[in-house]
Amino acid sequence: MLLIYRYLTNLLFPVLIILVYFRIFLNKEDKFRFKEKIFPSFFYSNKNPKKKLIWFHAASIGEVSSIISLIKKLNTDDINFLITSVTLTSGKLIEKELGSNQNLIHKYFPLDCYFLVNKFLSLAKPDIAMFVDSEIWPNFLFEIKKRKIPLVLINGRINKKTLNKWRIFPKISESIFKNFDLCLPSSRESENNLRLLGAKNIKYIGNLKFNTSFISKRLDIQNKNFLNSHKVWFASSTHKGEEIFCLNVHVKVKKIYNNLITIIAPRHISRIIEIENLSKTLNLKTQILNDGEKIIKNKEIIIINSFGVLSKYFDYCKSVFVGKSILKKLEAVGGQNPIEAAKCGCKVYHGPYVYNFNEVYEYLNSLGITEIIETDKKLADKLIEDFKDTKIIDENKVNKIDVYGEKILSDTIVELKQFI
């Protein structure tokens, strides 16, 4: 089967190139750096093999965010880091958070075609490869193992849906997952599922996202004063179908608090025009806000058109709704990361469908930080109640999250030291 997979990926290479160019047209690829995915001449070439090269592969923003603190802890003069990622926004986040690190370079992840994989590894010469979350690419994994490069799955996430897909071909799955020298799952469920797929040397430490560092950026004085003079709540990481839910909440709460501001940060900012048009159908005064712009005084719905800025708005919100959680159709894949809002001292509301972050929500719920809501009326009632008091951050709860995250990070480093 591996030979068939290799044959098909090589055969489909021209089609994949067309797909990459199409994604450029959709503004989903870096139009200046997309060649890093498909042409060996743009791959990273290790010019200093005497220094150890640690290679991390993290697909998107969430995965990249989870390893930033880890990279900072591992950073020494005798180590170089190569980070590969897939999405355009992940590349921007790496530049923003780690761009000053002279020992680190970012490249976009090549397509999983065997001839590209072979060339990439020959040029990069990594001393250890760490794949983050659920990034499983057979050609890469088999070739890494063939070259006897230590291979680690960091913060591995294998949910029920992913498990069922891999178990269609159980022998193939086992041959793929046994390539990992160490698997550090993000949850107990992922631990069990990795074991079912044939992975060896599995050690559960906890979800590395609890140690994600969020740099609280300051708002300019005009926006700060504007938000301080209003009742503000935040709808974070919303998906298609959830914005109308949030806008209906806004309409209900505004009957009590006329100075209400609802800030919406969609999971995919390519949808901002769609959300703006939806808001206008309800006759709501709406602004698409780019980073650094001023909030227009008469606006009531603010749609965030940038990434990595949530915490500076969370500072002015007592209450946050975290999306991908309210729609029944998302039940099997539901949930977005609520940790950033929790660390900013916000009360976190979410729908019943948080499957991908069940254990995270369970922990935060044990601290009294999160609460399930199922209807727009319920959320509206909760916000009305929250707005009766000013925001007071419970430092004890935030400190518990920080301590928990630090322990996960330190235990992770202990496990990785055997390879570094």
Provide the 8-state DSSP code for 235: E
Diameter of the chain measured on Cα atoms:
66
Predicted confidence (pLDDT) at residue 167 exceeds the cutoff of 60:
yes
Residue written as tokens 């992840």? 109
- Please report, for residues 224, 229, 234, the alpha-carbon distance to residue 221 in angstroms, rounded to integers and kept in the order given: 5, 12, 20
User: Cα(222)–Cα(60) distance, rounded to whole angstroms?
Assistant: 32
Provide the 8-state DSSP code for 356: G
Q: Which of 198, 133, 145, 192 is nearest to 170 (CA)?
A: 198
Chain Cα centroid distance, residue 218: 22
User: Cα(383)–Cα(371) distance, rounded to whole angstroms?
Assistant: 12
User: Cα(384)–Cα(377) distance, rounded to whole angstroms?
Assistant: 10
pTM: 0.89
Q: Which of 277, 294, 237 is nearest to 286 (CA)?
A: 277
Give yes or no for a contact between 190 and 156, defined as CB atoms under 8 angstroms apart: yes
Q: Tens digit of pLDDT for each residue in 312-333?
A: 899 899 999 999 999 999 887 8
Q: Tens digit of pLDDT for each residue in 203-229?
A: 999 999 999 876 556 788 889 899 999
Predicted confidence (pLDDT) at residue 146 exceeds the cutoff of 90:
yes
User: Cα(63)–Cα(201) distance, rounded to whole angstroms?
Assistant: 22
Token pair of 4, please? 């068939």
Q: How far apart are the first and last CA of the chain?
A: 33
Write the CB contacts of 25 (distance below 8 Å, at least 6 apart in sequence): none
Residue 320 burial (CB count, 10 A): 26
Q: What is the pLDDT of residue 164?
A: 93
Predicted confidence (pLDDT) at residue 308 exceeds the cutoff of 80:
no
DSSP string, 258-324: TTEEEEEEESSGGGHHHHHHHHHHTT--EEEE-TTPPPPTT--EEEE--SS-HHHHHTT-SEEEESS
DSSP β-ladder status, 231-238 and 319-322? parallel
Q: Which of 146, 183, 149, 141 is nearest to 53 (CA)?
A: 149
Q: Tens digit of pLDDT for each residue in 19-55?
A: 999 999 888 899 999 999 999 999 999 988 789 999 9
Write the CB contacts of 210 (distance below 8 Å, at least 6 apart in sequence): 339, 360, 363, 401, 404, 405, 408
Q: What is the pLDDT of residue 313?
A: 92
Strand partners, 348: 320, 370
Q: What is the pLDDT of residue 217?
A: 65
Token pair of 349, please? 């509301």
Q: What percent of the chain has pLDDT over 70?
A: 99
User: Cα(388)–Cα(100) distance, rounded to whole angstroms?
Assistant: 43
User: Cα(35)–Cα(40) distance, rounded to whole angstroms?
Assistant: 8
Radius of gyration of the chain, Cα coordinates, nearest whole angstrom: 22
Residue 100 burial (CB count, 10 A): 8
Residue written as tokens 């880890």? 70
Q: What is the pLDDT of residue 208?
A: 95
User: Cα(283)–Cα(298) distance, rounded to whole angstroms?
Assistant: 13
Question: Averaged over 300-319, what is the pLDDT?
Answer: 90
Give yes or no for a contact between 48 and 123, defined as CB atoms under 8 angstroms apart: no
> Would you place residue 357 in the very low, low, confident or very high pLDDT band (cuts 50, 70, 90)?
very high
Q: What is the pLDDT of residue 306?
A: 86
DSSP β-ladder status, 319-322 and 370-372? unpaired
Domains of the chain: 35-213 (3.40.50.11720), 221-401 (3.40.50.2000)
Give yes or no for a contact between 243 and 264, defined as CB atoms under 8 angstroms apart: yes
